[in-house]
Amino acid sequence: MLYIICMDYYELTFTYQSSVEKEIVHDLLAAELGEVGFESFVEADDGLRGYVSEKEYDVGAVESRLAAFPLEGVAIRFTEKRIVGKDWNEEWEKNYFKPIEIGDECVIHASFHDVKPGFRYDITINPKMAFGTGNHETTYLMISEMLRLELAGEALLDMGCGTGVLAILASMKGADPVVAIDIDEWAYDNAIENSRLNHAGGIEVRLGGAERIPASVGFDLIFANINRNILLSDIRHYALGMKRGASLYMSGFYTGDIPVIEAECARQGLRLLSSSERNGWAVVRVEKE
C-alpha cells in the first residue's frame, strides 16, 4: 500500500506554461518523476504537486528529468517544501481521495475509508503514485455508462486501465473475459493489486499500449478513458479488436473534442451513437458497423 505513516516528505509544486493539454503534461511528468522516487501526485490550480520521501529525494535527478522532458516547448519550474512527520493515511483521506458514489448503485473508496452500506457494487481501490493525475469526472462518466449495461458473458477491454476500477466493475457485473491494459508500470502493478483486493480474479492485466490488445479476442465492449491525442492515435487499433456490432466507449476529453473524435471513428468504420457530458468532460459511445 502507498500510504506511509509519520515519515518526512518533500512536497514539490511544478508549474509550467504550454499549449499542450495539461492532462498530457501531468501524466508524462508523473511518469518521469515516478522513476526517481516520487510516490503520489495531486493536481492543483497552479500545476502539479508531487510527494517524495526525504530518503528518496534527489534534486539533481529531478532537474535532469525536467531538462530531458519529452514534450517540446514545455518549460517546467518547481518549488519545494519539507513536510515533517504527518500521518499520511489521514492526510490523503482528508484532502485528496474522497469516496466516489454513483447514485446508490456503486461506491469507489480506499481501504481506509468508512462508507455507508447498501451499494450493489462496493469497490476498494488503494491508488498508487499517479492517482490524482486523472480526474473523477471521466471516471464517473464511464462508470455511469457501464452500470447501464448487461455484461454477463461479454468480452470486455479496459484500455488505459489505471487503477483497474473499470475492469473490476466489469468483472463484478459478470463480463468474461476481461482484459485491462496500461502503458505505465505503476498502473499495471496497481491494477493487479486492486483486482486481488476485490477478489476479481478473472482479469488479465497487460503492460503496454494498443499493441497489447490480444488479436485472439474479439471484444464486445471496449472502454478507453485516456486523453484525446492517444485516443485519436489508437482508435484504429480498437476497431480491429472489436466484433461487428461491438461498442466502444471513450472518455478523457472535452465536449469540444467530440467532432474530431467522431471523424476519426468514421474513418475506422465506427459510428457515433451517443454522447454525454459532466462539467465539460465528455463520454461517447460508438459502434462497429
More confident residue, 281 or 90: 281
Q: Would you say residue 130 has pLDDT above 50? A: no
Residue 236 has pLDDT above 60, yes or no: yes
Note whether 164 and 263 are same-domain residues. yes
Measure Cα distances from 229 to 1, 76, 129 in Å: 32, 21, 23
pLDDT greater than 70 at residue 93: no
pLDDT of the residue at 240: 96
Summarize pLDDT for 136-187 with one digit per residue, the tens. Answer: 688 899 999 999 999 999 999 999 998 899 999 999 999 999 999 998 887 8
Domain closes at, from 32, 60, 93: 93
Distance, in Å, from the CA atom of 115 to the CA atom of 101, rounded to the nearest integer, reads: 10
What's the CA gap between 272 and 250, in Å, rounded? 11
The domain spanning residue 208 has which CATH number?
3.40.50.150
Q: Which of 68, 93, 118 is the endpoint of a domain? A: 93
> Do 192 and 271 belong to one domain?
yes
User: Containing domain of residue 135, as a range?
Assistant: 97-288
Residue pLDDT, tens place only, 24-79: 888 788 878 888 988 777 777 778 888 888 888 999 999 999 999 988 888 899 99
Asked whether residue 6 carries a pLDDT value surpassing 60, the answer given is: no
Residue 68 is part of a domain; what is its CATH number? 3.30.70.980
Rounded-to-integer distance, Cα 105 and Cα 273, Å: 25
Asked if residue 66 and residue 124 are part of one domain, the reply reads no
- pLDDT greater than 50 at residue 3: no
Last residue of a domain, one of 93, 109, 132: 93
Average pLDDT of the chain is 87
The predicted model scores a pTM of 0.74
Q: What is the pLDDT of residue 32?
A: 86
How confident is the model over 186-223, as pLDDT tens digits?
789 889 999 999 999 889 999 999 999 998 899 999 99
- What's the confidence (pLDDT) of residue 115? 83
Q: How confident is the model at residue 114 (pLDDT cuts 50, 70, 90)?
A: confident
pLDDT of the residue at 134: 41
Residue 225 identity: N
Percent of the chain scoring above 70 in pLDDT: 90
